[in-house]
Amino acid sequence: MTTLPPPPDAHPSEAGQGRTPPTETTGDPDAVHPSGALDQRAVSAVEAKTPATRKQKRSGSPSAMADIWNRYKRNKLAVIGLVAVAVILLMAIFQPLITPYDPFEQNLYNTTAPPDGDHILGTDVLGRDMFSALVYGARLAMVVGIGTMLMSAIVGVSFGALAGYRKGLADTLTMRFTDILLAFPLLVGAILVVRIFGQGVLPVAIALVVFGWPTSARLMRGQTLALRESEYVEAARSIGASDTRIVIRHILPNAIAPVVVYAFTSVGVVIVAMAALSFLGVGVPADVPEWGRLISQSYSFIRVPGSEHLWLAPAIAIVITTLAFAFVADGLRDALDPKLRGGN
């Protein structure tokens, strides 16, 4: 199998639902290093860190964490993203306390009302308070998004580490399996799964995990393949460490960075996918105020002036959430990337 960069999720055309922002360097505009043809060694003299003063750190140890946080802080967008994610999470957690109305409560006498004193964001097509519906949507997005992300990551990392470390048959089988899953159009595959298991939040999550773990697995496999040739792995093997111990204690902490970065990006992908599924009518049930559902329900009001809030509000919610997680992922990537640590 050629060593291609991890492919973006199958069928990026599917309305962005299956898309992964490629794991590329965006070139941090705040980078301390002058770019260009400058001699790297001359530049290394710029950094004040000298080898003698750098403490020996294991990744995961407290001072390594502090290091990562310091680097993370440098990226303003990433900090904004983190704040936004925190706000959304809090909204999701405290939703019952925040929402002035019950998000499910429909009032068919007062539908599509523009924002006013009673309803800060107006009401939607079914008379639900838009603001409450949005907050509930945030809760749904967080639960499904983060839940799916965690499950995909766990499954993906396990398979990826197995494939990368054991190589041979385990590797080939895993790779072929992920090939097949990745070749499936994400949306269609998810639709099929939901059709089979029926509508509801859980089938949607399952569908997204089924088609989401292959990318994490690919990433982990690539990292494991590279790292298993490292000298410290060789050293651990030479003192008799078991395979499991080597993978968990030595390879995992060092391999995990791109997987974590992708995991955060994938939350946005999952949220968009779920919204797309609901938009199509396949996803959460019709009475659940999910962002994508809200948009599809306002489809016929698209060009009616005065009803922009119907689709604009959930659309903005989706965009902000996706961006927030993407920023955090970007920030994490820069913070975890040893090449940007400066010095030699």
Partner 1 sequence: MPDLTKSHEDVLADTDVTPAERVLEVRDLRVHFDTPAGIVKAVDGVNWHVDAGETLAIVGESGSGKSVSAMTILGLVPSPPATFPSGEVRLHGRSLLDLPESQQRKLRGNDIAMIFQDPLTALNPVFRVGDQIAEMVRVHQKVSKAAANKKAIDLLAEVGIPNPNTRARQYPHEFSGGMRQRAMIAMALANDPKVLLADEPTTALDVTVQAQIMLLLEELQQRRNTAIVLITHDLGLVASHADRIAVMYAGRIVETGTTDEIFAAPRHAYTYGLLSSLARMDHARPAKLEPIPGQPPSLSRVPAGCAFHPRCAFATDACTAEIPELLPMAPGSGHLHACIHPGSVAEALAAPKEVAPSAERSATTGKAPVVEVTDLVKHFPIR
Partner 2 sequence: MGKFILRRIGQAALVVLAATLLVFLGTFALGDPFASTGDRQVSPAVAEQNRAIFGLDKPLPVQYLTYVGNLATGNLGVEYDQRRPVADMLIEVLPNTARLAIVAIIIDILIGVIAGIIAAVKRYSFVDVLVTVTSTIAIGVPTFVLAVIFLAYLSGWGPFPVVPRPFGSEVPWYQEVLLPAFTLAIVDAAFVARLMRGSMLEVLRADYIRTARAKGLSERTVIGKHALRNSIIPVVTYVGVSLGGLLGGALITETIFQYNGVGYLLYRAIGGNNVPIIAAVVIFAVLAFVLLSLIVDILYAFLDPRIRLE
Binding residues for partner 1, rule: CB under 8 A, are 32, 34, 36-39, 41-42, 44-48, 50-52, 344
Q: Is residue 134 a contact point for partner 2 (CB under 8 A)?
A: no
- What number of chain residues touch partner 2 (CB under 8 A)? 64
Q: Which is nearer to partner 1, 56 or 198 (CB)?
A: 56
Work out how close the CB of 170 gets to partner 2 at its nearest, in angstroms, rounded to a whole number. 17
Work out how close the CB of 47 gets to partner 1 at its nearest, in angstroms, rounded to a whole number. 8
Binder of partner 2 out of 80, 155, 260, 323 (CB under 8 A): 323
Work out how close the CB of 297 gets to partner 2 at its nearest, in angstroms, rounded to a whole number. 12
Q: Are 98 and 285 in contact (CB under 8 A)?
A: no
Binding partner at 344 among partner 2, partner 1, none, C-beta below 5 to 8 Å by kind: partner 1
Q: Is residue 200 a contact point for partner 2 (CB under 8 A)?
A: no
Binder of partner 2 out of 79, 155, 192, 225 (CB under 8 A): 192
Q: How far apart are CA 97 and CA 152, in angstroms?
A: 31
Q: Which is nearer to partner 1, 45 or 202 (CB)?
A: 45
Q: Which residues here bind partner 2, judged by CB under 8 A?
A: 1-5, 7-8, 10-19, 21-22, 24-27, 29, 35-37, 39, 77, 176, 179-180, 183-185, 187-188, 191-192, 195-196, 268, 272, 275-276, 279-282, 292, 295, 299, 302-303, 311, 315, 318-323, 326-327
